[in-house]
Structure 1
Amino acid sequence: MSVDGRSADQPPLTPGLESAGFVRLITRADGDALAASGIIARSLAERGTPFQVAVRRTVSQRTARMQAPDVGDDELLIAVGAVDAEVPRVDAPDRPATLAALELARDLETTPDPMLALAGLVAAGVEPGAGESEWVLESAIDRDLVERRPGIAIPTAAPVDGLAYSTRLRAPWSGDREATADALGAVGVDPETTSLEPDLRQTVGSVVALDVVGAKAANERAADTVAQTLNPYATPAGPFETVGGYADVLEATARIEPGTGAALAMGHDAHEPALAAWRRYGRRAHEALSSASTGRYDGLFVVEIDDGPVEAVARIAAAYRSPEPTTLVVGPEEAALVAHEELSASTVERIARDLASEGDVEYDVGRRRGYLRFEPALDESTIIACARESV
């Protein structure tokens, strides 16, 4: 696959990559960054260059790994995510890391996997084929690697399983397999089936969309958001059923089983453990949101949870529940921010700096999102107050 989007006479994005004796990739914990690291790692493997991939949740953790004393003179360090160190970075606030990784693959004259690339782009919030990603989708279609079909973007062939644990949806039955089976059973879907005729796929898509939009707490963005999961790009030869489902698994594993996620992105046989992690991630996220308490402020929607993956809850709440442009989820020792339009790195840094007076705080930033890790003694009201002042 040719890697377009940059003229052939432009200099390499990462000088020294072609001649490096060993490459360390230190990546942030999200689906876009995981896909980007996988694309680069596969390119290095194709060329026979030794490498290591390490996933770290916060800026300080990635920085510490970059500055570790065991880094050799012939090694090249590459960051996929924000770091406080002078090293090459494969990401930008306004552009998915996956696109930059594809350009690195071009520099190395290797052939990246377009299904992994499309999944990374979807994880970054980019519709397949939109903007700079048009050539990626066209290449995948030309090679018969993806095809559009009726239904919903899920990772499994079994619709009940795929819909119950998806974090790209929020319906009254989300997170509950039995309730999902009941909802689909009403339109004739066998709870154990792994194959649906096109007409029934279309029916399932319509039922899901109606349940999502018709939910009592659904926000105005719910219809547009669920529409992005309809008529997905299927991946007949891929590790998961659809591009969107692949993206969902990358997001889940990046957060709770980064070793499994990295192995998956690098092309190793990690399908079953990745799906197990995804199911656990989705179930916990939906359960946490169902039992959460919420508050609304000018420009900020606050969700307080007792347990669960804060970033998944924030993403689901922002897409399907929040009436405000920014959503904050606060849990024990962690918090996450998701913005509908844009959330600058400086905003997250300012919140972390303000909270630092109350104890040790670590943070991370991504496209339209932020993450905070803090000491258990830090009061939730303090976090909320700092966020209200900053967003």
Structure 2
Amino acid sequence: MSTAADAPTEPDPERVAAALAETDFVRVYARPTGDALAAAGVLARGLAGGNTAFQVRTTRDAAVPDGDGTALALGWTAPNATAIPTGDRPVSAVVAAVVDALGAEPDPLVGLAGVVAAGTAPGDGGSGSLLEEAERRGVVDRRPGVAVPTADLADGLAHTTLVRTPQSDDLDDAGALLDALGVHEDPDEDGRRRLASAVALDATDGAPDRSVAAVERALRPHATPTGPFATLEGTADVFDALARERPGLGEALALGADVVVAGVVAIRDHVAGVHPVLADPTTGRYDGVFVARVAATPAEGATLPAAARLVRDFASPEPLAVVVADDTVAAAVLGSTDATAALRAGVEATGADGDRDVIGDARTGDARFAGGDVQAFIGGFREALG
């Protein structure tokens, strides 16, 4: 079985900072994940404070292009760049330590959004100092309720990938739930608690046991009164959607541009692809892996990573969930199996003669393979698991 035992070693933030301090120009290449994208924002803001020029690009490429200055890969290991790969700590937390070593102050809100996008609770994974600073500045305030990106609760409940409920991608059902609970805009704490309880019950009804822990990610959110979106967790959801669907817009958000309206539109569009693709999948259960075969075009492939995470957390009886379409696939795992290594083996088995690539880490990954055999992929994937 492919395991995550050989995960990349986390770099020393002091050494990375020393390398960046010696250059006049930094080229940042982030993987298309919310964590890596937010990390790019934390780094870029720190570099700007020290008057170091930079360029940020989100990429799926196997290597960074040649160019001036120092190249830095975030969320992956590039053969020709300094790298901060995904590891035990969120990339955003490591980058915050790099910025601190440069003598700048890491932006706590952007950094914590990356931490949450990595699936880590704020304050964990080496992000304790970020949470302390955010609380000191008053930019986060934990409260009862549900994590959503917008102040409009119905809109937020319908347009999130943090949970999967009957209200997902259904604004009318979300409004009906609020009406039934007597919860309206700007509810009091009791109303927020009632809403959280209802969402938790809906998300875990008939779901595997792990859904109880997974749904907690969307409950008792950190409100962000001065941030671009309503909650920290909702901000992380937007970062992840933009990284997958509209990376240029995500880069602008990470760098501090006012793109809130476009960000809300993007998360709505992303959700409109994620949840419907899971409406009627063909499923198969094997030893340790649950496969959901779905109908999705190559253009909709960017929705599959979020779909795989939702299947793993709220539908799969196995710790490893795979969502596969004709030309795209994504996997999400809890445990020691290396999801991306298994994806590579599966893609190799397809015999695809068109464009193909695989990106990810031990926990999550996705792949594109034009013209390959899906059944051959599933066979190769299962064989790699041992």
The DSSP-based 3-state class of the residue aligned with 1:150 is coil
The corresponding residue for 1:67 is 65
The corresponding residue for 1:208 is 199
| 2:50 pairs with 1:55 | no
Please tell me whether the aligned partners of residues 33 and 98 of structure 1 are also in contact (alpha carbons under 8 angstroms). Answer: yes
Matches of residues 1-391 of structure 1 in structure 2 within 5 Å? 11-56=14-59, 58=60, 61-63=61-63, 66-68=64-66, 71-72=67-68, 75-190=69-184, 193=185, 195-214=186-205, 216=206, 218-307=207-296, 308=300, 309-344=303-338, 345-355=340-350, 360-366=355-361, 368-375=363-370, 377-391=371-385
Code of the residue aligned with 2:368 in structure 1: it is R
Q: Distance in 1 between matches of 2:140 and 2:218?
A: 15
Please tell me whether the aligned partners of residues 349 and 377 of structure 2 are also in contact (alpha carbons under 8 angstroms). Answer: no
Percent pairwise identity: 36
Q: Distance in 1 between matches of 2:120 and 2:13?
A: 25
Which TM-score applies when normalising by structure 2? 0.90
Encode CA deviations 1:75-98: one digit per residue, 9 max, x unaligned: 110011324413110224322111
The DSSP-based 3-state class of the residue aligned with 1:225 is helix
Which TM-score applies when normalising by structure 1? 0.89
Code of the residue aligned with 2:93 in structure 1: it is L
The corresponding residue for 1:3 is none
> Residues 131, 78 of structure 1: CA spacing in aligned structure 2 closer, same or farther, 3 A cutoff?
closer
Please tell me whether the aligned partners of residues 347 and 377 of structure 2 are also in contact (alpha carbons under 8 angstroms). Answer: no
Encode CA deviations 1:262-286: one digit per residue, 9 max, x unaligned: 1101111111111111111112111
Encode CA deviations 1:301-322: one digit per residue, 9 max, x unaligned: 1111112411111011111111
Please tell me whether the aligned partners of residues 352 and 373 of structure 2 are also in contact (alpha carbons under 8 angstroms). Answer: no
Displacement over 4 Å in runs of 4+: 356-360
Please tell me whether the aligned partners of residues 348 and 365 of structure 1 are also in contact (alpha carbons under 8 angstroms). Answer: no
Please tell me whether the aligned partners of residues 14 and 88 of structure 1 are also in contact (alpha carbons under 8 angstroms). Answer: no
Please tell me whether the aligned partners of residues 124 and 367 of structure 1 are also in contact (alpha carbons under 8 angstroms). Answer: no
The DSSP-based 3-state class of the residue aligned with 1:34 is helix
More displaced 10-residue stretch of structure 1: 85-94 or 233-242 = 85-94
* Unmatched 5+ stretches in structure 2: 1-11
The DSSP-based 3-state class of the residue aligned with 1:112 is coil
Please tell me whether the aligned partners of residues 110 and 254 of structure 2 are also in contact (alpha carbons under 8 angstroms). Answer: yes
> Once the 2 structures are TM-superposed, how far is the Cα of residue 136 of structure 1 from its aligned partner?
1.9
Please tell me whether the aligned partners of residues 347 and 390 of structure 1 are also in contact (alpha carbons under 8 angstroms). Answer: yes
More displaced 10-residue stretch of structure 1: 344-353 or 86-95 = 344-353
The DSSP-based 3-state class of the residue aligned with 1:157 is coil
> Residues 342, 139 of structure 1: CA spacing in aligned structure 2 closer, same or farther, 3 A cutoff?
farther
> Once the 2 structures are TM-superposed, how far is the Cα of residue 206 of structure 1 from its aligned partner?
0.9
Please tell me whether the aligned partners of residues 26 and 62 of structure 1 are also in contact (alpha carbons under 8 angstroms). Answer: no
Aligned residues: 368
The DSSP-based 3-state class of the residue aligned with 2:121 is coil
